[in-house]
Amino acid sequence: MRKYNVAVIGVGAVGKEMLRCLHQRAFPFKEIRVFARSQRDITVEGIVYRVEAIENAQFDNIDIALFAGTEGEKGASLTYAHKFVDKGAVVIDNGADFRLDPKVPLVVPEANREKIFNHQGIIANPNCTTIQAVVALAGIYKELGLKKIILTSFQATSGAGRKAMETLWEETKEIVKINEGINELPQRKKLDKSYQVFPCQIAFNVIPQIGSFEQEGYTTEEWKVVRETHKILDDNSIKISATCVRVPVFTSHSEAIYFETEKDTDGEEIREILKNSKGVKFFEDNTYPLPLDVEGTDLVYVGRLRKDIYHKNSFWIWVVADNLRKGAALNAIQIAEELPPFL
């Protein structure tokens, strides 16, 4: 079996998860090179990696370049992706910069694997919120079509990066310390702002804003769900509306998804489709997945299937997935696993 030289660009939460996935899935790599802003050593799962400073680095002899990306920021891929491509690498970008570029495939392998082979050097990874929703709905869309999707997400702090997770932890510790020994409801005091990355306190709170506000009062994260789902399914006719909420969870996004099918169906048919959908673990009856339980796992978990008692062909599901793995790193590695025969 041929082996491949792989580069990982970025050593935040997603970059480190990419390194874990490459080893855990026994990806056929010959060499892994790691790039970031500054040179240093990092250790992931007991393996020491020498991080190269990306500025002025040489990108020769790299077959696949995995850009970890950072949601909400212009990623390194804007500066460096084409430099890797010019040297013969295929770039898989987890950032947002190329997702809606008509020349760049936007891929969730369980939904549109065939698009991988139409790349011109760059393949985009969708937003984490979009990925798990599309995995859950892809089988239903293929069998029955979709008229409408209404999605409410409950998104972990890790989706905003390592500093966001630290913010949740530090705020929680500070609130506990403030209220230590008090035998009444917790006191609210002005917290230290030095480590905060959110517009509001996230500990013991929820924030109904992820990203900045755009047209019609929807946030950038909510528009990603709409635009990316349309592109992945190659169907702009689906009416999609989303509300994206940040919650005090470290890892794993949860979503309540309402959908209406094009064809007549019933709950039993939807159940069978979900049970047989690639990448999905379906929870029967009144059992359901929890974000804490799915952390560190690779599937998209679906439970609480129920019909809308007032509208025909309309249903609710509860969907949970590790946003750092299937929502980012793992999806990129799954795309890379399809590439080697065609490099």
pLDDT tens-digit series, residues 300-318: 999 999 999 999 999 999 9
Domain extents in the chain: 4-125+329-342, 130-161+198-323
Beta-bridge partner residues of 40: 51
Using left for φ > 0, alpha for ψ between -120 and 50, and beta otherwise, residue 69 falls in left
**Known catalytic membership, residue 128:** yes
Give me the pLDDT at residue 189, please: 64
pTM over 0.85? The answer is: yes
Whether residue 40 has pLDDT greater than 60: yes
| Least confident among 22-36, 66-80, 86-100, 145-159 | 66-80
User: 4-125+329-342 with 130-161+198-323: one CATH topology?
Assistant: no
Establish how many alpha carbons lie within 13 A of residue 149's alpha carbon, considering only the half-sphere containing its beta carbon: 31
In angstroms, what CA-CA distances link 285 with 149, 289, 305? 22, 12, 8
In angstroms, what CA-CA distances link 10 with 3, 18, 222, 292, 308? 22, 10, 25, 26, 44
CA dihedral of 228, 230, 232, 235, whole degrees rounded to 10 = -170
Q: 130-161+198-323: which CATH number, 3.60.15.10, 3.40.50.300, 3.30.360.10, 3.40.50.880?
A: 3.30.360.10
Backbone angles phi, psi at 327, to 5 degrees: -75, -5
**Known catalytic membership, residue 23:** no
- Residue (of 242, 67, 213) closest to 150 by Cα position: 242
What would the DSSP string read from start to end of 91-112? Answer: EEE-SSTTTT-TTS-B--HHHH
Measured CA angle at 14 (ends 12, 15), to 5 deg: 65
315 by DSSP, 3-state: which?
Answer: strand
Measured CA to CA, the distance from residue 24 to residue 17 in angstroms comes to: 10
Measured CA to CA, the distance from residue 323 to residue 335 in angstroms comes to: 16
Whether residue 298 has pLDDT greater than 90: yes
Give me the pLDDT at residue 35, please: 97
Cα-Cα-Cα-Cα dihedral sign, residues 17, 81, 332, 136: positive
Measured CA to CA, the distance from residue 8 to residue 18 in angstroms comes to: 7
Whether residue 32 has pLDDT greater than 60: yes
Beta-bridge partner residues of 319: 255, 302
Give me the pLDDT at residue 193, please: 72
Q: Out of 21, 119, 244, 253, which one is annotated catalytic?
A: 253
Residue 187's pLDDT band (boundaries 50, 70, 90)? low
243-262 pLDDT, tens digit per residue, is 999 999 999 999 999 999 99
Q: 4-125+329-342: which CATH number, 3.40.50.300, 1.10.10.60, 3.40.50.10310, 3.40.50.720?
A: 3.40.50.720
41-64 pLDDT, tens digit per residue, is 999 999 999 999 999 999 999 999
Give me the pLDDT at residue 146, please: 98
Mean pLDDT for the chain? 94
- Widest pairwise Cα distance in the chain: 65
Mean pLDDT, range 66-73, rounded to an integer:
72
Mean pLDDT, range 23-48, rounded to an integer:
96
Q: Out of 21, 119, 128, 244, which one is annotated catalytic?
A: 128
Measured CA to CA, the distance from residue 153 to residue 199 in angstroms comes to: 18
